[in-house]
């Protein structure tokens, strides 16, 4: 068979492309890597980003830098990464807000599925359903029974419409069939203060935030929202154990890369991150902050993210939730 010059060139280029792909992954990183935290310095996303960056740098002998790009409910930092070079050297420490932003924010400056690719599911922090220490609610089932007997009488606080605490309350309403009123605040701190003061009957908040108040006797914790009991509060049942099968809510963290990052590079980064997550010292350090490491494959990260997007999309649309 006669081969034309054009066919020969195309065949040669295809062969070069195939040969170059694994080399690209093997060489990653070729220069310092930036992990963008789309939040201000000092919070959980930032601390986790820095812990991960330090360990990756130690393991790979390359600088991993954390750059805070806060604002617009994480949209500023997320958009920056989405528009960065797709070579594995600019990554995003994404978190729970990304799975709900598309339903809450009109004219979002990025498209989660079209502009970003999940690299690794890092871990999660469960929430806790708390009530004032003087509350008549002694358990989740007791709360549900009293709320059903008094529809519209009780309320729950959150740090704002569309926040994790709000969505958790909406999930509780949906799964238990109770009628409780949402009271949004300008942030979690004032919301929690009113629950502490007995002005609002209940709230969901992160385990790290509320457990000091529980230990001090200022709040009563009814249940945690993870799939398993929290190491920070092993005495508390999960919402699932409390009688609501499938009730699972966590503040989660996931590393993303720009969408067109080569799959073999994504796999290499995933493998290196999983090595870090297997470090017992780091796991212990982050466990003290309430973070439970998850890890897993790129496919696992994709599956988890899609599940979160699908689930919260239905709840947000059904409850007609709009962000503040």
Which pLDDT does position 238 carry in this prediction?
Answer: 97
Strand, helix or coil for residue 273: helix
The predicted-structure confidence for 88-103, as pLDDT tens digits, reads as follows: 999 999 999 899 998 9
Q: What is the mean pLDDT of the chain?
A: 91
Q: Is the pLDDT of residue 7 over 60?
A: no
Which pLDDT does position 27 carry in this prediction?
Answer: 87
Which pLDDT does position 256 carry in this prediction?
Answer: 98
Q: Is the pLDDT of residue 20 over 60?
A: no
Which pLDDT does position 5 carry in this prediction?
Answer: 47
Which pLDDT does position 106 carry in this prediction?
Answer: 85
Q: Which H/E stretch holds residue 298? A: helix 298-318
The predicted-structure confidence for 167-205, as pLDDT tens digits, reads as follows: 999 999 999 999 999 999 888 889 999 999 999 999 999
Confidence of residue 324 (pLDDT cuts 50, 70, 90): low
CA distance 121 to 107: 27
Which pLDDT does position 322 carry in this prediction?
Answer: 78
CB 138 within 8 A of CB 221: no
Which pLDDT does position 114 carry in this prediction?
Answer: 96
Domains identified in the chain and CATH numbers: 31-125+251-318 (3.40.190.150), 126-224 (3.40.190.10)
Residue 241: burial class (beta carbons within 10 Å; 0-12, 13-18, 19+)? middle
CA separation, residue 96 to residues 5, 81, 93, 112, 163 (Å) = 53, 17, 10, 12, 9
Partners of 204 in the β-ladder = 129
Confidence of residue 22 (pLDDT cuts 50, 70, 90): very low
CB 89 within 8 A of CB 29: yes
Q: What is the pTM of this model?
A: 0.84
The predicted-structure confidence for 58-67, as pLDDT tens digits, reads as follows: 999 999 999 9
pLDDT more than 70, % of the chain: 92
Confidence of residue 305 (pLDDT cuts 50, 70, 90): very high
Instruction: Report the DSSP pairing between strands 90-95 and 33-37.
Output: parallel
């Amino acid at each position: 068979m006669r081969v034309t010059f054009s066919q020969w060139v195309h065949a040669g280029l295809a062969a070069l492309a195939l040969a170059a792909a694994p080399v690209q992954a093997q060489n990653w990183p070729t220069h310092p890597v930036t992990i963008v935290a789309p939040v201000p310095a000092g919070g959980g996303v930032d601390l986790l980003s820095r812990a991960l960056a330090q360990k990756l740098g130690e393991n790979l002998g390359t600088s991993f830098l954390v750059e805070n790009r806060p604002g617009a409910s994480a949209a500023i930092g997320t958009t920056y990464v989405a528009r960065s070079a797709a070579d594995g050297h600019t990554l995003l420490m994404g978190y729970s807000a990304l799975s709900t932003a598309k339903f809450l924010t009109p004219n979002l400056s990025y498209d989660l599925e079209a502009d970003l690719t999940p690299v690794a599911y890092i871990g999660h922090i469960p929430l806790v359903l708390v009530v004032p220490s003087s509350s008549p609610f002694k358990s989740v089932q007791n709360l549900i029974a009293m709320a059903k007997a008094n529809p519209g009488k009780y309320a729950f606080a959150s740090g704002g419409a569309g926040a994790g605490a709000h969505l958790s309350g909406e999930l509780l309403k949906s799964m238990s069939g109770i009628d409780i009123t949402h009271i949004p605040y300008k942030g979690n701190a004032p919301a929690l203060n009113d629950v502490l003061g007995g002005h609002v009957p209940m709230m969901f908040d992160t385990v790290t935030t509320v457990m000091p108040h529980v230990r001090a006797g200022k709040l009563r914790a009814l249940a945690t929202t993870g799939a398993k009991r929290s190491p920070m509060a092993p005495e508390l049942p999960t919402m699932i154990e409390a009688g609501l099968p499938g009730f699972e809510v966590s503040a989660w963290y996931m590393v993303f890369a720009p969408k067109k990052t080569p799959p073999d590079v994504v796999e290499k980064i995933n493998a290196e991150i999983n090595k870090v997550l297997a470090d017992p010292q780091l796991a212990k350090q982050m466990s003290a902050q309430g973070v439970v490491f998850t890890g897993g494959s790129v496919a696992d990260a994709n599956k988890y993210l899609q599940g979160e997007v699908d689930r919260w999309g239905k709840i947000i649309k059904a409850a007609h939730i709009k962000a503040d």
